[in-house]
């Protein structure tokens, strides 16, 4: 089967994440293919059984939506940096890692993790001691009040969903007063 470049990219994204929402896939594909029409890119892949479409979700065969991955991709796509170089699933406590060149041309790493209510101390302990050169954490919070319970020394941001959009807050280091 002959696939176009957008279809190959779509399959590569789904091999990494398993399943994403249609709007997320479209945003990720539009970074490289400005005029992409997702329905054309998916039609042949569905016909040959490589992917399935279930409502607003597009998945590799036999994959189901993972709410943590869906949420982390939403945060990455909402974060105020453009031209993301690379993105991939990550190891606990992180869900997703992406890279972006900063203004000086240095590749900067962003790690996204989620902090459930009541798990602030655990996440603080997991993040302590992780090297912080050219790196920042993005912590997804259920509510902004969790921020006071987290003790994070490295560069970090908080993401809180408000009215269907993510709002980002710069986290304060425990060294700052």
Residue 54 sits in the same domain as residue 105 = no
Residue 55 sits in the same domain as residue 21 = yes
Place of tokens 């796509």: 77
Secondary structure (3-state) at 171 = coil
Q: What share of the chain is helix, strand, coil (3-state, %, to 5)?
A: 35, 30, 40
Residue 42 inside a domain? The answer is yes
Residue 14 sits in the same domain as residue 87 = no
Domain end, chosen from 28, 60, 92, is at: 60
Distance separating alpha carbons of residues 135 and 132, to the nearest angstrom: 5
The pLDDT of 95-119, averaged and rounded, is 91
What b-and-e string marks burial along 38-69, b requiring 16 or more CB atoms within 10 Å of the CB?
Answer: beebbeebeeeebbbeeeebbbbeebebeeeb
| Predicted pLDDT of residue 51 | 96
Place of tokens 């997320």: 24
Residue 157 inside a domain? The answer is yes
Residue 147 inside a domain? The answer is yes
Residue 113 inside a domain? The answer is yes
More confident position, 160 or 35: 160
| Predicted pLDDT of residue 174 | 47
| Predicted pLDDT of residue 97 | 97
pLDDT band at 173 (very low <50, low <70, confident <90, very high): low
φ, ψ of residue 27 in degrees (nearest 5): -65, -40
Residue 83 sits in the same domain as residue 12 = no
Residue 107 sits in the same domain as residue 150 = yes
φ, ψ of residue 43 in degrees (nearest 5): -55, -55
The pLDDT of 115-127, averaged and rounded, is 95
Residue 175 inside a domain? The answer is no
Residue 176 inside a domain? The answer is no
Domain end, chosen from 60, 77, 107, is at: 60
* Predicted TM-score of the model (pTM): 0.90
Residue 116 sits in the same domain as residue 165 = yes
Please tell me which of 28-37, 80-89, 118-127 the model is most confident about, judged by mean pLDDT.
118-127
What residues make up the domain containing 129?
Answer: 67-170
Beta bridge partners of 37: none
φ, ψ of residue 74 in degrees (nearest 5): -60, -45
pLDDT band at 177 (very low <50, low <70, confident <90, very high): very low
Q: Is pLDDT of 40 > 90?
A: no
Q: Is pLDDT of 36 > 90?
A: no
Residue 140 inside a domain? The answer is yes
Cβ 135 vs Cβ 154: under 8 Å: yes
Residue 15 sits in the same domain as residue 84 = no
Q: Is pLDDT of 153 > 80?
A: yes
Residue 147 sits in the same domain as residue 117 = yes
Alpha helices in the chain (DSSP H): 5-17, 22-30, 38-47, 67-78, 120-127
Residue 89 sits in the same domain as residue 161 = yes
């Amino acid at each position: 089967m002959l696939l176009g470049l957008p279809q190959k990219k779509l399959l590569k994204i789904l091999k990494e994440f398993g399943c994403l929402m249609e709007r997320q896939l479209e945003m990720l594909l539009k970074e490289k293919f400005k005029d992409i029409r997702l329905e054309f890119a998916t039609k042949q892949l569905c016909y040959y059984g490589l992917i399935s479409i279930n409502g607003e979700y597009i998945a590799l065969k036999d994959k189901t939506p993972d709410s943590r991955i869906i949420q982390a991709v939403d945060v990455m796509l909402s974060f105020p940096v453009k031209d993301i170089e690379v993105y991939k699933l990550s190891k606990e406590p992180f869900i997703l890692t992406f890279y972006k060149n900063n203004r000086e041309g240095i590749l900067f790493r962003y790690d996204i993790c989620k902090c459930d209510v009541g798990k602030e101390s655990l996440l603080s302990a997991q993040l302590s001691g992780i090297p912080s050169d050219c790196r920042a954490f993005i912590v997804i919070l259920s509510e902004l009040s969790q921020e006071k319970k987290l003790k994070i020394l490295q560069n970090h941001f908080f993401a809180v969903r408000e009215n269907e959009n993510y709002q980002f807050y710069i986290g304060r280091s425990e060294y700052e007063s």
